[in-house]
Amino acid sequence: MTHYDIVRVNPADHALVQSWVALQAAVDAHDFTGLRPWTPVYPLTGLITADAAGRNEHWAAVCDGKVLGILDLNLTDEDNTHMAGFWLAVHPDERRRGVGSALLRHLEERAAEEGRETVSSWVPVPHESSPEVRGDAASLLVAKGFKRSLDTAIRRCDLDAVDEAELDRLRDDAWKRAEGFETVAFIGAPPADLIEGVAYLHSRMYTDMPLGDWDLQEAAITPQRLLDWDRRRGQRGILCLQVAAREKATGEIAGLTEVHIEAGSETHCIQGDTIVDPRFRGHRLGTILKIENQRRIRKWRPKMRYVWTGNAVANEHMIAINEAVGYRLAGMEQVFQKKLA
């Protein structure tokens, strides 16, 4: 059996960091072909930036200076303090040698030390829409007592293939139902007159979206936390395009959508949260928000082509909106969860 040590990834250890990055590139090429391409900027910046509301730990199984496997651990300290999120990967050449099992043991030990009762991870899984995606990670988790807790569908919008005339029709029809509302577009931190309402909508993401058996609990997202998110995105080179819907008569924020464009990613970006306050549903605000923000992408990044999103398979309403504005099924992802004794 290969001997290895599990160590914290030190950003100042250049050789270790380069091996850590090389492993992630190898895993992406081997396991996730056909999904959104991996770029090194996001994980690298994650080594040296901190979230004020939690902690991220980066661990590696190392043999003779080479990284065989990695474990990224997320510990939130302001909400869901019963839970630890993680991402685990083992180099394709080092599998079935106990590396993944050792990293999972380390995960459970660290979670127990932090008083966490649940550990969970998002894992892309094989599907007919993404035939080259492998299921090695899911198989390992199931073998170690994890249970599938939430099914999500990954969709991709090809901006070159979108029928802009159809989007015009959808937008115009939606506005007939949205009299009394207006949209406000911004980048980065919300303006002062929007920030309370935007924070409230982000809090609702923890309660309104279908969660299956995933043990995610409520969170109180504050304006200060939004400002911290914006600080960290800025440090990581992430452009966040956002559009809010506002009721004119009251000034209340009725809905929100966002797109994240990561540094180093010139043709692929990510659709973030989209939500409409239940009090204001039925006005097709989700459709209006999606179309307006989608059309902003190429104003900021003219060469951008693909936008990726994920929805719980039970979220039929949002899936219908996404399909209408150009998204098509591209893969599946599942949350695997384990309750610790």
| Interval 88-122: pLDDT, tens | 999 999 999 999 999 999 999 999 999 999 999 99
CA atoms of 87 and 101, how far apart (whole Å): 13
Question: Nearest CA to 260 among 283, 234, 224, 279?
Answer: 234
pTM of the model: 0.96
β-bridge pairing 239-247 and 181-187: antiparallel
pLDDT score for 341: 82
Spans of the chain below 50 pLDDT: none
Buried b / exposed e across 240-267, counting CB within 10 Å, b at 16+?
bbbbbbbbeeeebbbbbbbbbbbeebee
All structural domains of the chain:
5-145 (3.40.630.30), 156-334 (3.40.630.30)
What is the per-residue pLDDT for 1? 54
Cα–Cα distance for residue pair 268/326, rounded to 1 Å: 15
